[in-house]
């Protein structure tokens, strides 16, 4: 990689309960700027832990995590990334506008700047006009869009997403997938995306990283060479199915180390 990687993990190990549980062992991974990388694997493979290590929400037990050329804690202090969780974690007591403005408030932006940026973000996720609503008045898909708007409000170069669409129905999911790719293109950011769904991983990513559990490690990677921009039709192309199969085979290989039934936890 000639360009400096956006995310670099080197020899990263993470254990819990005083060494009894090894979530991740000796992870080496580099993610270049502008990539869309999905992390996929059965439960217990450490993909969410890996995401949290990148975000400095938990420190590594060994190894180094570098984000945007700095150590992870520095990147967090410099607000280099935005994070989206599976349940949108919107604040009940704030309107949609104020939810999106939250990081901007913390950064000390003045009111006029905040208002302008919030409007811009709501337009980006196609929720203009809903600024005055409260989260509970919106559907699950809309809440997730608000969460994405919030994560991007201060224009981070990196987006960390932990199964953001996991709680939504399939049709909303597919729609939001296309929207997310559009946003990714427009903001020219890097995305690290954790998911349980093979087809989602293949559809969204430039590269799929397959992980295996006990201890968590990278089992393999698949470069996704599907053309951009990807549309609803992309899901029906032969190459799409080939890639899905390739990922599935990798996962099955991962699953076969255990009792084979582990594969049941990863869905289509």
Partner 1 sequence: MTVVAEPTRRGTVVRTIRTRAAEWIPAIVVFCLAIVAWQLIIDVFHIQKFLLPKPLAIVKAFWNERGTLWSAGWLTLKEALVGFGIGCGLAIASAVLLARFRRVSGALMPVAIAANAIPIIAFSPIFDAWFDPLSIWPRAATAAVLCFFPVFVNTLRGLTSVRPAQVELMRSYAAGEIDIFRRVRVPTALPFVFAALKVATVLAMIGAIVADYFGTFGSLGIAIKNAVSLFDFETAWAAILIASILGVALYVAVSLAERIALQWDPTRQERGSA
Partner 2 sequence: MTQAATASPALARPSLSPALRRGGIRAATTLVTFAALCGLYELYHWVWASAGWTWPFPVNDTTLPHLWTIAKALGRPSGYQGPLLIVLLLHHAWFTAKEALAGFALGAVTGFVLAVALVHSRLAQRALLPYIVASQTIPILAIAPMVVVWLKSGWQSVAVIAAYLTFFPVTINVLRGLQSAEARAHELMRSYAASRWQVLWRLRVPASLPYLFTALKISATASVVGAIIGELPSSIQSGLGGAIINFNQYYSLQPENLWATNVVAALLGVAFFLAVVLAEKLVVRRAPEHLA
In the complex, the residues that contact partner 2 under the rule CB under 8 A are: 52, 55, 57, 76-79, 81-83, 85, 87, 89, 91-94, 102-103, 105-107, 126, 129-130, 132-139, 141-142, 175, 178-179, 182
Task: List 160's β-bridge partners, or say none.
Answer: 83, 192
| Among the listed residues 13, 30, 48, 74, the single contact to partner 1 using CB under 8 A | 48
The option from partner 2, partner 1, none interacting with 89 (CB < 5 to 8 A, set by class) reads partner 2
Residue numbers 13-42 binding partner 1 by CB under 8 A: 16-17, 20-21, 23
Residue 58 CB, shortest distance to partner 2, in Å, is 9
Count residues near partner 1 (CB under 8 A): 11
Decide if 150 contacts 107 (C-beta within 8 A). Answer: no
What CA–CA distance (Å, rounded) separates 142 from 262? 33
Q: For the CB of residue 54, give the shortest distance to partner 2 in the complex, in Å.
A: 11
Between CA 260 and CA 93 the distance in angstroms is 46
Alpha carbon of residue 129 to chain centroid: 27
The residue (of 21 and 77) whose beta carbon lies closer to partner 2 is 77
Dihedral angle computed from the Cα positions of residues 196, 200, 201 and 206, in that order, rounded to the nearest 10 degrees: -160
Q: Measured from the CB of residue 164, what is the shortest distance to partner 1 in angstroms?
A: 16
Sign of CA dihedral 102, 106, 112, 117: negative
Cβ(174)–Cβ(240) under 8 Å? no
Positions that interact with partner 1 (CB under 8 A): 16-17, 20-21, 23, 43-44, 46, 48-49, 52
């Amino acid at each position: 990689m000639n360009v400096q990687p956006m995310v670099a993990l080197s020899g990263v190990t993470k254990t819990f309960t005083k060494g009894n549980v090894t979530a991740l062992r000796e992870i080496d991974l580099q993610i270049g700027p502008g990539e869309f990388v999905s992390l996929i694997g059965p439960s217990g493979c450490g993909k969410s832990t890996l995401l949290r290590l990148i975000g400095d929400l938990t420190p590594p037990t060994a190894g180094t995590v570098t984000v945007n050329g700095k150590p992870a804690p520095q990147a967090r202090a410099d607000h280099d990334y935005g994070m989206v969780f599976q349940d949108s974690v919107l604040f009940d007591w704030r309107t949609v506008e104020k939810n999106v403005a939250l990081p901007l408030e913390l950064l000390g932006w003045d009111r006029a700047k905040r208002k302008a940026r919030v409007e811009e973000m709501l337009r980006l996720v196609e929720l203009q006009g809903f600024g005055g609503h409260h989260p509970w008045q919106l559907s699950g898909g809309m809440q997730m869009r608000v969460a994405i708007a919030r994560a991007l409000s201060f224009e981070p170069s990196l987006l960390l997403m932990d199964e953001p669409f996991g709680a939504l129905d399939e049709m909303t999911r597919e729609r939001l997938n296309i929207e997310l790719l559009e946003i990714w293109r427009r903001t020219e950011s890097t995305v690290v995306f954790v998911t349980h769904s093979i087809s989602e991983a293949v559809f969204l990513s430039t590269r799929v990283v397959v992980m295996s559990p006990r201890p968590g490690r990278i089992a393999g990677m698949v470069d996704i060479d599907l053309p951009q921009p990807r549309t609803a039709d992309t899901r029906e192309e032969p190459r799409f199915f080939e890639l899905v199969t390739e990922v599935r085979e990798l996962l099955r290989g991962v699953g076969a180390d255990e009792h084979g039934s582990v594969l049941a936890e990863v869905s289509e």
